[in-house]
Structure 1
Amino acid sequence: MTNHQPSSIIHHPYRAGWIHFTNVAPILDPLVLPPSVTAITGVPTAMNEALLSGRVDIANISAVEFIRHADTLAALPDFSVAVLGPVYSVNLFHTRPLEQLRRIALTSQSAMSVALLEVLLAQRGLTPMLERAEGEAEALLASGYDGVLRIGDNALREWYGVVGPFGEDVIVPEIPQVGRGITVTDLAEEWFHLTGHPFVFAVWAYRKDNPPPPELLLAMRAARREGIGHLAEVSGRHAQKLGLPEDVVQHYLWNFRYHLEEADRLGLNEFADLAVPEHAPLTFG
C-alpha cells in the first residue's frame, strides 16, 4: 500500500496598491503590513488600472473608478478619503471667471478630479474645451490655457504659492483664494456649495472575488488610530517634504474624513448618480 503525502498548498501573498499622497499619510505612514501582504505604490491612474487588471487585490482608488466598476469591486465599509468643504489639493487655477473659461488643461493622473470637474461644469451649464496637458499651473496658464486642473501634493503646493504666505492670525478657510491674477477654485468646496454633502475622493476597494484578509484590516485600523493620534508628527514630516509650513499641512490633514460614515456614503451615491447614471449598486463589505 502506497502512502500518499498531502500536496503542499502555495499561498500567494495578498497584493495591495497604494496611492501615497500626503492626504493618506495618517493611514499609510504608520502601516505595518502583515507577512501575508505585499504592496506597491503609484499614481491614481496606475493603481486604478492595477486593481482592475488584477495585478493588485486592493487599492485606495478614485471613487469614480469604484463607481464605474461597481459590478466587480466592493469597498471597505469604514475607510475613505473624504472632505466636507474645501480639500486644498484638487484645484482649478484660472485667470477668467468660471463662466468665461474657454480652455482647461487636465492632469492625466486622476480620473476622479476630471469627473468631478465635468459634473460641476455641467451643473453650471458650462462647456469649455478640456485638454490633456501636464505641467505646473502657472506655466500652463502662461502658455494660453485660462484654466488648469491640478491635484494632490503638487496642487497643495501650488495653491499655497498663489494664496500664501499667511500671517499667524489668519484663519485658513477664510483667506482669499486669489493671488497674482490667478483664482483658485477648490472643487470639493464647489461640491459642498452644490449639494451640502461631503465629497469622497477615494475608497479602499477590492475585487469582490478576493476580499482582504482580516489581518490587513486590523493593521490598517491600527495604523489609522496611530496616524490620527500623532497628526502633528505626520504633518511635520510631510511639511518638510512639501516645503510648506507645518501648520498648513496639519490643517490640511485635519480636514479629511477617513471613516466613510453615513454622510460620506450619501455624498458618494449622489456623485455616482450624477457622474455615472447607469452604475451598478455600490457594495460595501
Structure 2
Amino acid sequence: MTYRAGWIHYTNVAPILDSLVLPNNVTAVTGVPTEMNAALLEGRVDIANISAVEFIRHADKLEALPDFSVAVLGPVYSVNLFHTVPLPNLRRVALTRQSAMSVALLEVLLAARGLSPTLERAEGEAENLLASGYDGVLRIGDSALREWYRVVGPLTPETTMTTLPHTARGITVTDLAEEWFRLTGHTFVFAVWAYRKDAPPPAALVQAMREARREGIGHLADVARRHAAGLGLPERVVQHYLWNFRYHLEAPDRLGLHEFAAQAVPGHAPLRFGPRPGVRVESG
C-alpha cells in the first residue's frame, strides 16, 4: 500500500525536505499549511508537517514524530505583523488564509495585551493592504521574510539581522515568535510532523527524513545558496534565517508547545508523540 505524505515546503523546512529521497512506497504532495492541515485531517495524506495548533486541536486523532519540529527561540523573521500604528491602537488587521498557526498565535498575543482589533481575512502583500486601509497585516512564510527585508533592510557590512530596525518608512514589523518569547520565555513550535493514529509512518520514511535533516543541517550554507536567488534575498540573510530554526522537538520545544496549547486550546486532549525506538511518550 502506498503511504501518502503532504509537505509544506517553505524555505524553513528546506534543510529537511531538499535532500529527502522518498522510499519506493511513499508519495508526496505539497501545499500551504491550511491545505495540508485539511488533507491530513480528511485522510487524503497520512503524514504532514502541519501547524502545531491543528495538532493540538485534533490531538484525539493525531500523533507526532517525537524528534521533528519547526521551532525557534526568539525571532523567526517569517511570521510578522506589519502595522502602521502602535499595537494598542490597532483597529483592523488583515489575516492570511494560509496559516491557522499564525492566526492562533496572534490571537494569544493580542489577548495577553488585552487588545481586540477587528480581524479580517484578506490576501495580498503587506504594504498594499496597509495602503488600502488596514492598520495591521499578518504575513507568513517566504513572502513574509521577503517583505520584512524590504521594509527593514538592506544589510550592510556594519549591520546584522539582529540589529536591523523594526520600523522603517512608517511601518513597524512585529515578529510574533519574538513577542511570544518576550511573553513566556519559551521556544515557539510552529509545526510538528503529525500523522493519523491509524496510519503511522513506515520506518524507512522516518529514517530517510532523519538522514535528509542531517545532510541539510550539515550544509546550511549550500541550502541557503540554493534558495536565496528564488527568494530574491542575500545568501547571508537566508543562512541566518535557517540557523535560527530548531528541528528536533527537544525538551525546551515541548515546554513551549505545551504552554501554547494551554493558552490557545484549553482542555485539549493529551498530546502524543512517538514512538521513539522502544519507547512511547504521552503527555497532556
Mapping of residues 7-86 of structure 1, within 5 Å? 12-86=1-75
The equivalent of 2:204 in structure 1 is: 215
SS at match of 2:23: coil
- The reply to whether residue 194 of structure 1 matches residue 186 of structure 2 is no
Aligned partner of 1:103 among 89, 92, 95: 92
Amino acid at match of 2:50: I
Deviation of the 1:209 alpha carbon = 1.1
- Stretches of structure 2 that go unaligned for 5 or more consecutive residues are 275-284
CA distance in 1, matches of 2:112, 2:162: 24
CA distance in 1, matches of 2:158, 2:71: 27
Superposition TM-score, scaled by structure 2 size: 0.96
The equivalent of 1:284 in structure 2 is: 273
The equivalent of 2:215 in structure 1 is: 226
Amino acid at match of 2:91: R
Amino acid at match of 1:47: M
Amino acid at match of 1:14: Y
Aligned partner of 2:118 among 129, 136, 144: 129
CA distance in 2, matches of 1:103, 1:173: 29
CA distance in 1, matches of 2:25, 2:207: 13
SS at match of 2:44: coil
Deviation of the 1:268 alpha carbon = 0.2
Deviation of the 1:126 alpha carbon = 0.1
Select the structure of larger CA radius of gyration: 1
SS at match of 1:256: coil
Amino acid at match of 2:191: A
CA distance in 2, matches of 1:124, 1:277: 18
Amino acid at match of 2:47: I
CA distance in 1, matches of 2:39, 2:159: 42
The equivalent of 1:272 in structure 2 is: 261
Mapping of residues 108-187 of structure 1, within 5 Å? 108-187=97-176
The equivalent of 2:280 in structure 1 is: none
Deviates more, 1:198-207 or 1:168-177: 168-177
Amino acid at match of 1:23: N
CA distance in 1, matches of 2:87, 2:254: 29
Deviation of the 1:210 alpha carbon = 1.1
Deviation of the 1:174 alpha carbon = 2.2
Amino acid at match of 1:72: K
Deviation of the 1:173 alpha carbon = 1.2
RMSD: 0.5
Amino acid at match of 1:284: F
Number of residue pairs aligned between Structure 1 and Structure 2: 274
SS at match of 1:197: coil
Structure 1: 4+ residue segments shifted above 6 A:
none
The equivalent of 1:7 in structure 2 is: none
Deviations 1:235-270 (A, max 9, x none): 001101000000000000000000000000000000
Amino acid at match of 1:199: F
The equivalent of 2:281 in structure 1 is: none
Aligned partner of 2:244 among 255, 259, 263: 255
The equivalent of 2:232 in structure 1 is: 243
Amino acid at match of 1:31: L
The equivalent of 1:4 in structure 2 is: none
CA distance in 2, matches of 1:67, 1:164: 36
Amino acid at match of 2:198: D
- Stretches of structure 1 that go unaligned for 5 or more consecutive residues are 1-11
SS at match of 1:284: strand
The equivalent of 1:6 in structure 2 is: none
Deviation of the 1:278 alpha carbon = 1.5
Q: Percent identity?
A: 79
